[in-house]
Homo-oligomer: A and B are copies of this chain.
Amino acid sequence: MANGISNEELVQAIRRATEEVFSTMLGLEAVPQEFYIERTAPGPAEGVVSLIGLAGAWVGTGSISCSANFALTISSHLLMTEYQAVNEEVLDAVAEVTNMIIGNVKTVIEEKLGGLGLSIPTVIYGRNFTTRSVGNGEWVVAPFLCQGERMAVQLCLAPNRGETLLRPGVANPQMAPA
């Protein structure tokens, strides 16, 4: 994760936030697994993926991905209601948990990276989709085991290079057709 913060520090922040939110808000134990770095964006080809933006001197995206079944577990524990199918309430519950976890991570990493704004979460649910974030972003992926299911909390952060994020050779005004 370039300068500013190490991957290990980031993973520590994610683990603490996830364990805390899971135990206090869901009454569930999330057991951290070995973290890894991924160059492509988060997301199973099937299941639930949430995304929330971070912006300040650093910019990035936080994400949670899990199976549809585990999204039901999260929702049932958060809202103390049984859910049998992924509906709007379930997607909202995953969004809420994403907001809490990444919000906690933000508070910790702000000590190193300066103030960061948190956007609103969007949740994607499907059977056949891929997600991809731009450019050379590396994702720090922190997997957890919970009730026999695997979920992952991941974060992609890069220094804010300005408003347009133009990269050489791509979207360069000199290249634009007349």
Question: Which residues of chain B are within 8 angstroms of A27 by Cβ–Cβ distance?
Answer: 176-178
Q: Does A64 contact B (CB under 8 A)?
A: no
Count of this chain's copies in the oligomeric assembly: 2
Contacts of A79 in B (CB 8 A): 170, 175
CA distance A34 to B135 in the complex (A): 33
Decide yes or no: A61 and B164 within 8 Å by CB, A79-B170, A128-B129, A135-B92 being known contacts: no
A56 to B116, CA, bound (A): 9
A135 to B52, CA, bound (A): 14
| A129 to B97 CA separation, bound complex (whole angstroms) | 21
A82 to chain B, nearest CB (A): 14
A106 part of interface (Cβ distance < 8 Å): yes
Residue of B53, B135, B177 touching A53 (CB-CB under 8 A): B53
Whether A53 contacts B119 by the Cβ 8 Å rule is yes
Residue of B at shortest CB range from A87? B132
Across the interface, name the chain B residue whose C-beta is closest to A40. Answer: B88
- Are A163 and B60 in contact, CB atoms less than 8 angstroms apart? no
- Chain B residues within 8 Å of A129, by CB: 124-129
Q: Which of B97, B120, B156, B160 contacts A59 (CB 8 A)?
A: B120
Q: In this assembly, does A69 line the interface, its C-beta being within 8 Å of a C-beta of chain B? A: no
Min CB gap A50→B, angstroms? 9
Q: A60-B119, A80-B177 given as contacts; is B170 within 8 A of A103 (CB)?
A: no
Which 10 A-B residue pairings sit nearest by Cβ, starting from the closest?
A: A53-B53, A55-B117, A126-B129, A53-B119, A27-B177, A129-B129, A95-B134, A96-B171, A91-B132, A128-B128
Some 8 contacts from A to B, beta carbons below 8 A apart, are A24-B176, A25-B171, A53-B54, A53-B55, A54-B119, A60-B119, A61-B119, A125-B129
